[in-house]
Amino acid sequence: MSSLELDDFTDLIERPDGGVRRDAEARRERRIVPPGALGRLDELGEWLAAARGTVPVRPVERPRVVLFAGDHGVAGLGVSARPAGGAEQLVRAVLEGASPVSVLARRLEVPVRVVDMALDCAPDALPKDVSRYRVRRGSGRIDIEDALTPEEAEAALRAGIAVADEEADSGTDLVVLGDVSVGGTTPAAVLIAALCGTDASVVTGRGGVAIDDLAWMRKCAAIRDALRRARPVLGDQLQLLATVGGADLAAMTGFLLQCAVRKLPVILDGVVAAACALVAQRVAFRAPDWWLAGHASGEPGQAKALDRMALEPLLDQGVKVGEGVGALLALPLVRSAAALAAELPEKPEELAEPEEPETEQVPETEGTEQFPE
């Protein structure tokens, strides 16, 4: 996909319906609950009404968790507490229902979809519906080489677009977006540092499974080296993803852009989703209007990216595990906001504030003093 085609997303993506949002705000003013009493839930319900184009807002009935999976060559440097190439086991745990996101998804009755983009395992090691979009086996070591070839980056981004279309066409009405990766927070930090113009130390976190100080220093050095490779290609977002991203990150970027085109709201999970959202924002500035930040993961890079996009996390529970868990925890909050916005009754007419009567203006008499001495 050429940069010209990426630029087309700017014209394809519209903002959520402003007229519907104003109608939702007016409805809030008429409800029996005083304005402001429900805090951010009011704002959330109005955002969802605008995104879905209806007042009262329709309930979220068909949400779905979508997880993009991949291994990253930079994990071989010891920047992660998990073994390099170990994302396959994480994916298996999700598919077998033994991971945190699987447990929550069962309880909330939300289906989970895993999309293998670059796992370091044999292509037939996982079900075909999981691996049919795979681009390569593992992404390159970004401190010394490109993560992907330009052709692979294009294929990954197109795969993300295709997955978004499949979800929209199947009736999914809200997506919880996350990743299943080993080493993925390192390229995410590189992308955020490059796009925000910050140093490696500002965005280097300790990952979902906290690393020790020595591993943190190795990670910081890898991000610093990758940043040198990223800066010359900052003007080309597809080349940036090929240079210091990865197949899963490129796919998530395409997915986010196409969800905005299809007017499909997304709840972002952790730092990897935030990094891809930041790249997508560079492509199409209106795209973030279709996303929510599910939670604060504690990763400094995520905080930096969300601040740049003016997205405030809905929750802060210290969840660092990734895999969409923090974003999925925010789903009941979104559903609650929709229910309150749609179902709370309006004030009876006799309790509504009466309009102030117009006062008759007494015209001044020309040449007459109104207040004589």
* Among candidate residues 183, 207, 189, 202, the one with its CA nearest the CA of residue 74: 183
CB 175 within 8 A of CB 327: no
Which residue of the set 323, 350, 355, 366 is catalytic? 323
Tokens at residue 313, please?
């996390």
CA angle, 111 then 113 then 117, to 5° = 170
- Burial code of 325-362, b = ≥16 C-beta within 10 A, e = fewer? bbbbbbbebbbebbbbbbebeeeeeeeeeeeeeeeeee
* Among candidate residues 153, 159, 158, 160, the one with its CA nearest the CA of residue 139: 153
CB 311 within 8 A of CB 268: yes
Tokens at residue 339, please?
């229910």
Helix or strand holding residue 79 (H, E): none
- Please confirm, yes or no, whether 61 is among the known catalytic residues: no
* Among candidate residues 90, 277, 335, 227, the one with its CA nearest the CA of residue 219: 227
Tokens at residue 294, please?
């599910």
Sign of CA dihedral 37, 315, 104, 161: positive
Catalytic positions: 323
